[in-house]
Amino acid sequence: MLLIIPSIDLTNGHALRCVMGVPGTERLYSELSDHPVELAQLWRRENAKCIHVTDLDSWKGADTTANIATAIAMQKAVDIPIQLLTRQPTVSAYRSLLEAGIYRVGVSSVVFTDPDGVRELIDEYGSSRVIFGVRAHNGDVDCGQSVGMVADEEFIRAAYELGGRRIVYTEVDWEGKLTGEDLDVIIRIASVAKVRITMAGGIASPQHLWMLQNSVPRNVDSVVIGRAMYENRFPCQNIWRSIEAELEPEIHAHAHEVGQQSSISKLGGDF
The CATH number of the domain holding residue 216 is: 3.20.20.70
Q: What pLDDT score does 190 carry?
A: 95
* Structural domain contains residue 9: yes
How much is the pLDDT for 270?
59
pLDDT digits (tens, 9 = 90+) for 67-111: 999 999 999 999 999 999 999 999 999 999 999 999 999 999 999
- End-to-end, the C-alpha distance of the chain in Å comes to 14
Q: What is 208-232 written as a DSSP string?
A: HHHHHHHHS-TTEEEEEE-HHHHTT
Local confidence band at 206 (pLDDT 50, 70, 90 cut-offs): confident
CA 7 to CA 227: how far, in whole Å? 8
104-162 residue pLDDT tens = 999 999 999 999 999 999 999 999 999 999 999 999 998 888 888 999 999 999 999 99
Dmax (CA) for the chain in angstroms is: 54
Query: 261 in a domain, yes or no?
Result: no
Domain membership of residue 157 as a residue range: 3-256
Whether 187 maps to a domain, the answer reads yes
49 within some domain: yes
In a domain, 188, yes or no: yes
DSSP track, 94-125: HHHHHHTT-SEEEE-THHHH-HHHHHHHHHHH
Instruction: Name the percent of the chain lying above pLDDT 70.
Output: 80
Tell me the sheet residues that pair with 84: 53, 105
| pLDDT (average), residues 179-207 | 88
Report d(CA 30, CA 14) in Å as an integer: 13
Question: Is residue 82 one of the residues assigned to a domain?
Answer: yes
Residue 10 lies in a domain: yes
Of 26, 77, 46, the C-alpha closest to 254 is 77
**What confidence tens digit (pLDDT) does each residue in 217-233 have?**
999 999 999 888 888 88
Of the ranges 58-62, 122-126, 238-242, which one carries the lowest mean pLDDT score? 238-242
Indicate the number of domains in the chain.
1
| Structural domain contains residue 106 | yes
